[in-house]
Amino acid sequence: SQTEDGTLEIIEVRVENGVAEQIGEGISLAGIEDPGGIVIEGGSITVTGNSDGTVYEVQATGVFTRGDANVDFLIDIGDVITILGYLFSGEVGPECEARMDVNDDNALDIGDGIYLLNSLFLSGSPNPPEPFGSFADLITGPDPTPSSNTPCP
């Protein structure tokens, strides 16, 4: 689950007769250098390593990295292609549209793709506004300038 300040935490959930119920308090992932057994792939987070059959759920709703349009935890030309495909080819974008609002003007348009291209390939161009980065120097967080035009669920 996610706390009010955006920190992720692991929660234990029991499912009986189709009803899920949280058991006990969550375990914060803040400050854990190598949580081990946690795999982040696309929009999914999988936690493994508990041998007693307990299932853990981690939710990252509302947390994003600006510019990571294809949700692969990298900022690269693939993100530009995702933005352009969304704008001009009717391709599906990420659930959190703020990922594609690279220039943070609360609109999804060609300016976002151009801004990211400049940031990637034109020396001296500014980076997109935070939260921005790649997995190596990941800066994530809630959108500091939320908008109904580019919502994150």
Each residue of 2-34: pLDDT tens digit?
Answer: 556 656 666 666 767 666 677 776 666 555 444
CB 66 within 8 A of CB 101: yes
Residue with token string 């935070």: 130
Q: Would you kindly state where each structural domain of the chain is located, as residue ranges?
A: 9-57, 77-135
Confidence at 58, pLDDT banded by 50, 70, 90: very low
What are the DSSP calls for 106-125, one per residue? Answer: S--SHHHHHHHHHHHHSTTP
